[in-house]
Structure 1
Amino acid sequence: MSNPAINDELDVIVVGAGFSGLYHLHHLRKLGFSVKILESSSGMGGVWQWNCYPGCRVDSEVPLYEYSIEEVWKNWKWTERFPDRNELCSYFDHVAETLDLKRDIRFNTRVTAASFDPSSDRWTVTTEKGTVARSRFLILAVGFAAKIYVPDFPGLDRFQGVCHHTAQWPQMGVDVEGKRVGVIGTGSTGVQVVTDVGPRVKHLTVFQRSPAIALPMNQIKIDQEKHEKMRELSPLMYRRRKQTPSGHNIQPIPQDALSVSEEERYLTWEEQWSRGGLNFAVGNYKDVMVNQDANDQVYAFWRDKIRARLHNPVMREKLAPMVAPYPFGTKRPVMEGSYYEVFNQPNVDLVDASEARIQEITPKGVLTTDGIEHELDILVIACGFDSVTGGITQIDIRGVDGTSIKEKWANGVYTNLGMTTANFPNMFFLYGPQAPTALSNGPTCIEIQADWITRCITYMSDKKLTRIEATREAEEEWRNLNMSVAGGTLLGKAKSWYNGSNIPGKVVEPLNFAGGIPYYQSALQDREDRRYDGFILSTHAAGANNPAGSCEVEFK
Structure 2
Amino acid sequence: MGSISESLEYDTVLIGAGFGGYTMLPKLRKLGLRVKIFERGSGSGGVWYWNQYPGARVDSDSPAYQFFDKEIWEDFTFSERFPGFRELQRYFQYVEKKWDLRKDIEYHKNVTYAHWDPDSRRWRIGCSDGTETRCKWLFANVGFAAKEYKPYLKGSGDFQGDMFHTAHWPHHDVILEDKRIAVIGTGASGVQVIQEAGKVCKQLTVYQRTPNFCLPMRQRRLDPVEEQRKKANGVYEAAFKACENTSAGVPYENNGRKTFDDTSEEREALWNSLVQEGGFKFWVAGYADTNFDQKANDAAYDFWRRMVLKRIKDPEKARVLAPEIPPHPFGAKRPSLEQDYFEVLSQPNVDIIDLNELPIEEVNASGIRTAAGQVDVDLIVLATGFDGLTGGFMDIDLQGVDTRTLKQHWNDGVRTSMGVAVPGFPNLFFLFGPQAPSTFSNGPSCIQFQGRWFEKLVQRMLAEGIETLEPKNEAADRWVEKIRERWDTTLLPQGKISISVHRNLSFADVSHSWWNGSNIPGKKVQPLSWAGGLPSYMKMLDETLENDYQGWIVERGTTDI
TM-score (norm 1): 0.95
- Tell me by how many angstroms 1:115 deviates: 0.6
For residues 276-326 of structure 1, what are the alpha-carbon distances to aligned partners after superposition, in whole Å with 9 as ceiling and x for unaligned?
001001112111111111101000000010010011011111101111121
1:440 aligns with 2:457: no
CA distance in 2, matches of 1:219, 1:225: 18
- Tell me by how many angstroms 1:230 deviates: 3.4
| Cα 1:6–1:431 shift into 2, 3 Å | farther
Q: How does 1:44-443 map to 2 (within 5 A)?
A: 44-231=44-231, 232-370=234-372, 372-443=373-444
Quick check: 2:118–2:401 contact (8 Å CA) kept in 1? yes
CA distance in 2, matches of 1:230, 1:138: 39
For residues 346-371 of structure 1, what are the alpha-carbon distances to aligned partners after superposition, in whole Å with 9 as ceiling and x for unaligned?
1111011132111111110111133x
CA distance in 1, matches of 2:33, 2:415: 29
Q: Report SS of the residue matched to 1:204.
A: strand
| Range with bigger deviation, 526-535 or 512-521 | 526-535
In structure 2, the partner of 1:539 is: 556
1:524 aligns with 2:541: yes
In structure 1, the partner of 2:498 is: none
Counterpart of 1:266, as a letter, is E
- Tell me by how many angstroms 1:375 deviates: 0.4
Q: Report SS of the residue matched to 2:514.
A: coil
CA distance in 1, matches of 2:485, 2:127: 39
Counterpart of 1:71, as a letter, is E
CA distance in 1, matches of 2:197, 2:352: 15
- Tell me by how many angstroms 1:543 deviates: 2.8
CA distance in 1, matches of 2:520, 2:424: 26
Aligned length: 539
Quick check: 2:165–2:381 contact (8 Å CA) kept in 1? yes
Q: Report SS of the residue matched to 1:198.
A: helix
For residues 3-35 of structure 1, what are the alpha-carbon distances to aligned partners after superposition, in whole Å with 9 as ceiling and x for unaligned?
xx9832211000000001111111111221110
Quick check: 1:56–1:193 contact (8 Å CA) kept in 2? yes
CA distance in 2, matches of 1:470, 1:167: 33
Counterpart of 1:436, as a letter, is P
Quick check: 2:79–2:224 contact (8 Å CA) kept in 1? no
CA distance in 2, matches of 1:76, 1:342: 34
Which of 515, 519, 522 is the aligned partner of 1:502?
Answer: 519
- Tell me by how many angstroms 1:101 deviates: 0.5
Quick check: 1:485–1:515 contact (8 Å CA) kept in 2? yes
- Tell me by how many angstroms 1:539 deviates: 2.2
- Tell me by how many angstroms 1:77 deviates: 1.2
Q: Report SS of the residue matched to 1:199.
A: helix
CA distance in 1, matches of 2:247, 2:191: 26
| Range with bigger deviation, 224-233 or 178-187 | 224-233
Quick check: 1:254–1:285 contact (8 Å CA) kept in 2? yes
Quick check: 2:242–2:252 contact (8 Å CA) kept in 1? no
| Range with bigger deviation, 185-194 or 8-17 | 8-17
1:489 aligns with 2:490: yes
Q: Report SS of the residue matched to 2:368.
A: strand
In structure 1, the partner of 2:502 is: none
CA distance in 1, matches of 2:183, 2:297: 30
CA distance in 2, matches of 1:495, 1:217: 22
CA distance in 2, matches of 1:8, 1:243: 41
- Tell me by how many angstroms 1:500 deviates: 0.6
| Range with bigger deviation, 73-82 or 486-495 | 486-495
User: Unaligned 5+ residue runs, structure 2?
Assistant: 496-510
CA distance in 1, matches of 2:241, 2:541: 17
| Cα 1:6–1:80 shift into 2, 3 Å | farther
CA distance in 2, matches of 1:409, 1:258: 43
The share of aligned pairs that are identical, in percent, is 41
Q: Report SS of the residue matched to 1:75.
A: coil
User: Unaligned 5+ residue runs, structure 1?
Assistant: 546-556
CA distance in 2, matches of 1:415, 1:130: 30
Q: Report SS of the residue matched to 2:199.
A: coil
Quick check: 2:437–2:533 contact (8 Å CA) kept in 1? yes
- Tell me by how many angstroms 1:226 deviates: 2.7
Quick check: 1:436–1:520 contact (8 Å CA) kept in 2? yes
CA distance in 2, matches of 1:280, 1:52: 28
- Tell me by how many angstroms 1:84 deviates: 0.5
CA distance in 2, matches of 1:296, 1:401: 49
Counterpart of 2:411, as a letter, is A
CA distance in 2, matches of 1:395, 1:6: 24
For residues 494-535 of structure 1, what are the alpha-carbon distances to aligned partners after superposition, in whole Å with 9 as ceiling and x for unaligned?
141111110011111111110001110111111121122110
CA distance in 1, matches of 2:172, 2:272: 41
Counterpart of 2:360, as a letter, is I
